[in-house]
Amino acid sequence: MAPGAPFGDAPIIPTRSGRAPWTLRRRLVVAVVGLLALVSLVIGVVSVAILSASLMDGLDQQVKSAAERSSVFFGGGRPSGDFSIPTPTANDVLNGPSQPPGTLALVYDGSAVTAGYTDDTGAVVDLSNDQVTLLLTELDSAVQEGTTSVPFSVDLGGDVGEYRVLAQAARTGALYLVGLPVSTVTGTATQLALIIAIVSLAGIVLVAFLATAIVRLALRPLQRVTATATRVSELPLDRGEVSLVERVPAADTDPRTEVGRVGSALNRMLDHVDIALETRQASENKVRQFVADASHELRTPLASIRGYSELTRRSGQELPPDAIHALGRIESESVRMTGLVEDLLLLARLDEGRELEREPVDLTRLLVDVVSDAHAAGRDHSWDLDLPEEPVLAAGDGPRLHQVFANLLANARVHTDAGTRVQVALTVEGATAVVTVTDDGPGIPENLQETLFERFARGDSSRFRGTGGSTGLGLAIVQAVVLAHQGEVSVDSRPGRTSFRVVLPLA
Ligand SMILES: Nc1ncnc2c1ncn2[C@@H]1O[C@H](COP(=O)(O)OP(=O)(O)OP(=O)(O)O)[C@@H](O)[C@H]1O
Ligand SMILES: [Mg+2]
């Protein structure tokens, strides 16, 4: 299955903006993954915040303990009033008992400042002048504000980084400051954040795969429903006897599921359409049967009319000229009507799909006959016949094929002016015989060409319309007979050249 096309090869219809819309599968997977990412993010942020806060509390306690330990150098623990001890340096404080590596100290006795911090090995590292100035300012403001027992953060920049420090004023008058690096806290918090991120990411990837698989599995019944609908859409339902047997499989029509409801609705619709098609076909058959029956029934009375009028005309009795004219008209009209009825009957039978004869028909001989008939009927036209050396045999019904070419030649005769040249040619192309009937007459009017092969389609300028010589069934019969032979008929017409081309399968 192509990505983005979860339901077979159905084309994805672009939205109005021109971009293909998201498939249901993609939307569900993205929603699940997005929600999981959001929840993971919230859990991560909250966890890291709580941990940082609690570690910071711990650090503050450690800073306080460090300050406590350092107070010994500033007369802490001695009886009050005994201030005869010398002010220590930062080095003394840092090398004092159980001060952890990283400890920072600054001592200010009113005139001199000493400051430094221990590195990982325990060696004392001096601070730069800027850093000392910064710490002094902080120390001063803490003493001014009286917040000497509250640890606060100072960013010393560079390799030293951020420190949590506690400012103290000794009873000896010295001011001092002890601190511990915040990096221990941030390191642990960063580690936790990293672990949460990695675990969440792995979880999200896993969930994305699982969700894709689950959604695909869940949508599979919908795919089967789609397949059924697609198969139905490919059925030829437009004509003839059709049976709509395609249905969604019973397993996908359980109305307790969403897809099942779609499936059963589709099945109900197919039942409905099937019944409608059957009804339509039945009524169509009835109409056809009626036309065939009516045409058949009309043949006998028409033959009688013709017979009696002919008999009367030839009886030898003296008849007034008007009566003779009227009888002639009755006779010719009944001949025309017989032709019309025969055409209708033939069309009705072809519509019913009644099988035609299927035997080898010698097209060469058939065309020779048809052209010589046309020649006899149309002496004012010139007739050409171009035949191959070998006889060409088509599989079909001789009299019907005769009618096809007779109709085409009659058209070339009656719808063109005297002196028109008509060329009939027969060739073999692959497994088909091709007959072309070409004339250099006025051509078929543009507006008629589209409906040319429809029943009762005829040109307005038809010279025979008034006299009733043209019915517009000729080409309809040509097409119906040729199609019943699994052949093809086409026309190419412009003023000065009209060419009909009939393709028939060889015997
Ligand atoms: N060779 C042609 N040249 C010019 N017009 C043509 C030609 N063949 C057909 N037509 C036009 O096509 C119309 C339809 O032809 P069709 O054979 O179906 O009916 P018809 O000839 O009018 O009547 P029918 O053949 O039933 O007596 C004609 O009325 C005519 O206008
Ligand atoms: Mg005709």
Number of domains in the chain: 3
Q: Are residues 450 and 336 in the same domain?
A: no
**What's the pLDDT score for residue 460?**
66
28 three-state secondary structure: helix
Domain termination residue (choose one: 337, 354, 371): 354
% of the chain surpassing 70 pLDDT = 93
Confidence (pTM): 0.60
Q: Are residues 437 and 365 in the same domain?
A: yes
CA distances from 253 to 219, 224, 244, 260 (A): 14, 11, 18, 4
Element (H, E) at 266: helix 258-314
Q: Are residues 368 and 345 in the same domain?
A: no
Q: Are residues 144 and 239 in the same domain?
A: no
Residues with CB under 5 A from ligand 2 (ion): 411, 474
| Domain assignment present for 150 | yes
Question: 222 C-alpha to center of ligand 1: Å?
Answer: 53
Q: Nearest to residue 230, comparing CAs of 270, 264, 197, 279?
A: 270
Q: Which of 421, 424, 450, 458 to mutate to test the pocket of ligand 1 (most atoms within 8 A of CB)?
A: 458
Q: Are residues 327 and 385 in the same domain?
A: no
**What's the pLDDT score for residue 495?**
94
Q: Which of 411, 438, 446 to mutate to test the pocket of ligand 1 (most atoms within 8 A of CB)?
A: 411
pLDDT-derived band at 78 (thresholds 50, 70, 90) equals low
Question: 458 C-alpha to center of ligand 2: Å?
Answer: 8
Q: Ligand 1: does its nearest atom lie under 6 Å from the Cβ of 413?
A: no
| Domain assignment present for 30 | no
Order the strands of the 432-439 sheet from edge to edge.
Answer: 382-386, 421-429, 432-439, 497-505, 488-494
Q: Ligand 1: does its nearest atom lie under 6 Å from the Cβ of 475?
A: yes
CA distances from 158 to 90, 130, 162, 165 (A): 21, 11, 9, 17
Q: Are residues 346 and 375 in the same domain?
A: no
Q: Beta partners for 494?
A: 497
pLDDT-derived band at 73 (thresholds 50, 70, 90) equals confident
pLDDT-derived band at 79 (thresholds 50, 70, 90) equals low
Q: Is the pLDDT of residue 3 over 60?
A: no
Question: 417 C-alpha to center of ligand 1: Å?
Answer: 13
| Domain assignment present for 323 | yes
Cβ-defined contacts of 211-217 (< 8 Å, 24+): 211/28, 211/29, 211/32, 211/33, 212/25, 212/29, 215/24, 215/25, 215/28, 215/29, 216/6, 216/25
Q: Ligand 1: does its nearest atom lie under 6 Å from the Cβ of 465?
A: no
Q: Ligand 1: does its nearest atom lie under 6 Å from the Cβ of 473?
A: yes
Range(s) of the domain holding residue 458: 359-505
| Residue 183 near residue 173 (C-beta atoms within 8 A) | no
Domain termination residue (choose one: 336, 354, 372): 354
| Domain assignment present for 222 | no
- The string of DSSP codes covering 179-226 is EEETHHHHHHHHHHHHHHHHHHHHHHHHHHHHHHHHHHHHHHHHHHHH
Q: Beta partners for 176?
A: 107, 168
Ligand nearest the Cα atom of residue 473: 1
75: left (phi over 0), alpha (psi -120 to 50) or beta: left
Q: Are residues 368 and 459 in the same domain?
A: yes
Question: 459 C-alpha to center of ligand 1: Å?
Answer: 7
| Domain assignment present for 135 | yes
Question: Both tokens of residue 92?
Answer: 């003394």
CA distance 139 to 166: 8
| Domain assignment present for 219 | no
Domain termination residue (choose one: 354, 383, 409): 354
Q: Are residues 158 and 251 in the same domain?
A: no
The CATH number linked to 367 is 3.30.565.10
| Domain assignment present for 27 | no
CA distance 74 to 79: 12
pLDDT-derived band at 80 (thresholds 50, 70, 90) equals low
420 three-state secondary structure: coil
Q: Are residues 379 and 466 in the same domain?
A: yes
Q: Ligand 1: does its nearest atom lie under 6 Å from the Cβ of 409?
A: no
Which range among 8-17, 60-69, 195-204, 440-449 shows the weakest confidence by mean pLDDT? 8-17
Section 460-475 average pLDDT: 67
Q: Ligand 1: does its nearest atom lie under 6 Å from the Cβ of 403?
A: no
Instruction: Give the residue, by CA position, lying nearest to ligand 1 atom 27.
Output: 470
Q: Is the dihedral of CA 246, 250, 255, 258 positive or negative?
A: negative
28 Cβ neighbours under 8 A, 6+ residues apart? 211, 215
| Domain assignment present for 157 | yes
Q: For the segment 84-142, what is each residue's pLDDT rounded down to a tens digit?
A: 667 788 888 888 778 888 899 999 887 888 999 998 888 889 888 999 999 999 888 88
Q: Are residues 368 and 338 in the same domain?
A: no
Q: Ligand 1: does its nearest atom lie under 6 Å from the Cβ of 474?
A: yes
Ligand nearest the Cα atom of residue 462: 1
Q: Are residues 449 and 371 in the same domain?
A: yes
Ligand nearest the Cα atom of residue 413: 1
Q: Beta partners for 498?
A: 439, 493
Element (H, E) at 502: strand 497-505
Q: Ligand 1: does its nearest atom lie under 6 Å from the Cβ of 174?
A: no
Q: Is the pLDDT of residue 46 over 80?
A: yes
Q: For the segment 292-335, what is each residue's pLDDT rounded down to a tens digit?
A: 999 999 999 999 999 999 898 888 788 888 988 999 899 999 99
**What's the pLDDT score for residue 6?**
43
Q: Ligand 1: does its nearest atom lie under 6 Å from the Cβ of 444?
A: yes
**What's the pLDDT score for residue 157?**
85
Question: For 150, which DSSP code?
Answer: S
Question: For 89, which DSSP code?
Answer: P
Q: For the segment 468-491, what is each residue's pLDDT rounded down to a tens digit?
A: 568 899 999 999 999 999 999 999
Instruction: Give the residue, by CA position, lying nearest to ligand 1 atom 28.
Output: 458
The CATH number linked to 301 is 1.10.287.130
pLDDT-derived band at 466 (thresholds 50, 70, 90) equals very low
Cβ-defined contacts of 239-246 (< 8 Å, 24+): 240/281, 240/353, 241/281, 241/353, 242/277, 242/281, 243/274, 244/270, 244/273, 244/274, 244/277, 246/270
Q: Is the pLDDT of residue 82 over 60?
A: no
Q: Ligand 1: does its nearest atom lie under 6 Å from the Cβ of 332?
A: no
CA distances from 107 to 98, 181, 214 (A): 19, 18, 68
Ligand nearest the Cα atom of residue 410: 2
Ligand nearest the Cα atom of residue 470: 1
The CATH number linked to 102 is 3.30.450
**What's the pLDDT score for residue 17?**
63
Q: Are residues 474 and 420 in the same domain?
A: yes
Atom of ligand 1 nearest to the CA of 412: 1
**What's the pLDDT score for residue 111?**
83
